[in-house]
Structure 1
Amino acid sequence: MNALKPSLSAALIAALTALLFFGPMASLAQGFSPAARRIEAYYQQLLPTLQQADRLSVSERDRRFGPAINSAFDLSAMTRYAAGPAWSTFSPSQQAAVREAFSRFLVADYASLVRDYSGESFVVEPQTTAEARGGGEVVKTKLIQGGGRNVTINYLVRGGRVIDVYFNGTVSDLATRRDEFASILAGGGGADALVRTLRQRTEALLNG
């Protein structure tokens, strides 16, 4: 059976945790674009949970993360992009099931990877750059790690909501998800197999 891997989420969560300890100062800066401010607000929603992460179960972190992630991310669009051309072959009920299963998996994946804060700092650029291919804007950020190592993590925002995250500035988390979806669909079973795999993976994460 194919299983979805955590993908880039471990690195993204490290950045997320760091921003939460920098965000209150950054949010006071003048001239921040609405998209940059939107991402900061999202991280601030997660702050109480992250501060207690080592004392909470994965299931409890999942429950607390859900509202913030569902609000900040355009999960419907992300599901369509991840499914690729196969999306148009799914029935409306199958599309709804895939969307629900993927949304649940994504939240559980993030919840399973958040454990503690290890001293990183994070910088978000106040102004965005236009995304040439499909519209939207890119919020550029840097994760500052020990030893002066910097990691670029950018967020593609469209219609006020995140639809992709780029690790090292260019590696698309959504493209990785799309490859995983394609692998599952290639094994046969179509949308039903994809839903089944997503649900099994979610259950494993929450009970791990």
Structure 2
Amino acid sequence: MRIVRRGLLLAGIAASVLAMPTILTVPSTVALAASASQAAAPVGPVQRLDNALIETMQNAEQLKFQGRYDKLAPVLNAVFDVPEMTRIAVGPMWNDASEADKAEMTEVFGRYMATMYAARFNGYKGETFEIADSKPRDGGRVLVITKLVRKDQEPVELSYLMKGEGDNWHVTDVYYNGSISQLAQLRSEFSAPLRDGGVKNLKSVLETKIKQLQGGA
């Protein structure tokens, strides 16, 4: 779980422990509860996503592609920081884009992500998700590690880089088998369309990819 570093004020406790036992005991209980809540907060969105993926896989044939998309899109938009992920995937050209192009690109990127998930999670063979670990990262971020457990096959590790505070945490990248960054892959994939025509061209390319995935699902 997330490690919360706190400074402990020790001076004066020994002198007051006999005179104020209740004051010392009650805050420590509250602090432990708060610490547990803070540590669990980054895991919550990942658990929500895992549950939605399993339910979608279990009902994949009945739902068809559009049903899977309709089930997963709102969860992905709530769990993922789509604007931040879009910015990272586009790279330096993001700074040169107009506000209108940024808004359109973010909307298309969100649909592209949801389309990819709806196309990939298209069947069920008894798979389950397990939350394996949660580790602190630089900048107050947290890496939540999950495993997709498959029958008669090695589990697939999916790690989610979380950013946020309090009870408000979102995914900013996904790592396959511990090291393969989804955003790094997308950034490489996007480099040619961006080079050939900037953000407007990339938007057009993604619209085409969305149609292709829909047709092949």
**TM-score, normalised by the number of residues in structure 2:** 0.74
Instruction: Give the structure with higher Rg (CA).
Output: 2
Q: Taking every aligned residue pair, what percent have the same amino acid on both sides?
A: 32
User: What secondary structure is seen at the aligned counterpart in 1 of 2:125?
Assistant: coil
Change (3 A) 1:42 1:101: same
Contact 2:52-2:71 within 8 A present in 1 as well: no
Per the alignment, residue 95 of structure 1 pairs with 102
- Find the residue that maps to 1:56 and give its secondary structure: helix
- Residue matched to 1:169: 178
CA deviation digits over 1:156-187, x for unaligned, max 9? 0111001111111111011101111112112x
Cα distance 1:158–1:124, how it changes in 2: closer, same or farther (>3 A)?
A: same
- The superposition leaves residues 132-155 of structure 1 with CA deviations (integer Å, 9 ceiling, x where unpaired) of 2x5410001223333462332211
Gaps spanning 5+ residues in structure 2: where? Answer: 1-35
SS of match in other structure, 1:117: coil
Q: Say yes or no: does 1:157 pair with 2:162.
A: yes
Within 5 A, what are the aligned runs for 1:120-131? 120-125=127-132, 128-131=134-137
Q: The residue matched to 1:128 in structure 2 has which SS?
A: strand
CA, structure 1 residues 44+161, in 2 after alignment: closer, same or farther (shift >3 Å)? same
Which of 190, 193, 196 aligns to 2:198? It is: 190
- Describe how 1:23-42 pairs up with structure 2 within 5 A: 33-42=40-49
Q: Deviations over 1:12-66 (max 9, x none)?
A: xxxxxxxxxxxxxxxxxx9872111221123334554332111222122112211
User: Which residues of 2 match residues 35-184 of structure 1 at below 5 A?
Assistant: 35-125=42-132, 128-132=134-138, 134-147=139-152, 149-159=154-164, 160-184=169-193
Q: Which range moved further: 43-52 or 115-124?
A: 43-52
1: CA distance, partners of 2:61 / 2:173 = 27
Q: 1:148 to 1:49 in 2, by over 3 A?
A: closer
Q: SS of 1:146's equivalent?
A: coil
CA distance in 2: counterparts of 1:138 and 1:198, whole angstroms: 28
Q: Quick one: distance in 1 between partners of 2:215 and 2:80?
A: 24
Question: Is the 1:53–1:116 Cα contact (8 Å) retained in structure 2?
Answer: yes
| Alpha carbons 1:112, 1:206 under 8 Å: kept | yes
Q: What runs of 5+ residues in structure 1 fail to find an aligned partner? A: 1-29
- Write the letter of the residue equivalent to 2:144: V
Deviations 1:65-94, CA, capped at 9 Å, x for gaps? 111110010000000000111100101111
**Larger RCO of the pair (alpha carbons < 8 Å, separation 6+):** 1
